Amino acid sequence: MDQSSPEPAAPPRPDAVPATEADAAERPEVGVGPWEGQWPDGEHWDPELLREGDRRNVGDRYRYWLHEAIVADLDTRRHDFHIAIENWQHDMNIGTVVRTANAFLAKEVHIIGRRRWNRRGAMVTDRYQHVRHHPTVEEFVQWAQGEGLAIIGIDIFPDSEQLETYDLPRNCVLVFGQEGPGLSDEVHAVADTTLSIEQFGSTRSINAASAAGIAMHAWIRRHVFGQSPG
């Protein structure tokens, strides 16, 4: 009889979808199991995933791929818009903004202000999305101008134009403010323009994560599907 101690369980992969026991009981199994049949050829395949199965939250085209191979492939297809969000009070929206930026394949996400942000809402997508930090608005503006990007603020100001009818430039960075106070006066002053999202209910504003998704989709409609605004 083998008296040896069992091998310790392998630690969870950093890109695995987090789940509790209750989640596992209520939700269908995520992803795919071990590869069946002869393994495919190619340096982009992950031997561990081929052997154990791929339970990550990735599209079908990336099943069993190495993380580095997925990022490299995404880098060949990223769109020409960037996303920036101010982070002076540890905004809880940032993780969701990163997740949405990954879904719409933004070039980069920029955090202005505090370096630390809550990654829980990103659902591990920050491992596939380039995220850059700028300690101050001044440094962010210098970077954007150096890259030739139009700085487009998204917020409700008296001088804001309507997002729905504005012709978003291809090369731009869409900037969102802190939840609550919104876009800072400093960013408002340096932005090429600010845009507001038309609303029809009783509330004056929507949260930054929702606004970011709407604005990104407006860029996609204009520059991927060729739909003119208005």
pLDDT in tens, 18-47: 555 555 556 677 899 999 999 999 999 999
What three-state secondary structure class fits 131? strand
Tell me what pLDDT residue 30 has: 85
Upper half-sphere CA count for residue 120 (Cβ side, 13 Å): 6
Taking Cα atoms as reference points, which of 75, 123, 105, 73 lies closest to residue 217?
Answer: 105
Tell me what pLDDT residue 11 has: 53
b/e burial code for range 163-200 (CB count within 10 A of at least 16 → b): beebebbeebbbbbbbbeebbbeebbebbeebbbbeee
Tell me what pLDDT residue 1 has: 38
What would the pLDDT profile of 52-84 be if each residue is shown by its tens digit? 999 999 999 999 999 999 999 999 999 999 999
What three-state secondary structure class fits 133? strand
Residue 104 has phi, psi (to 5 degrees) of: -95, 5
Distance from chain centroid for Cα 185: 25
What would the pLDDT profile of 127-186 be if each residue is shown by its tens digit? 999 999 999 999 999 999 999 999 999 999 999 999 999 999 999 999 999 878 899 999
Architecture of the CATH domain 78-225: 3-Layer(aba) Sandwich (3.40)
Taking Cα atoms as reference points, which of 190, 156, 158 lies closest to residue 173?
Answer: 190
Structure tokens at 202: 């009783």
Tell me what pLDDT residue 205 has: 83
Distance CA 77, CA 128 (A): 13
Q: Any idea where the domains of the chain sit in the sequence?
A: 41-77, 78-225
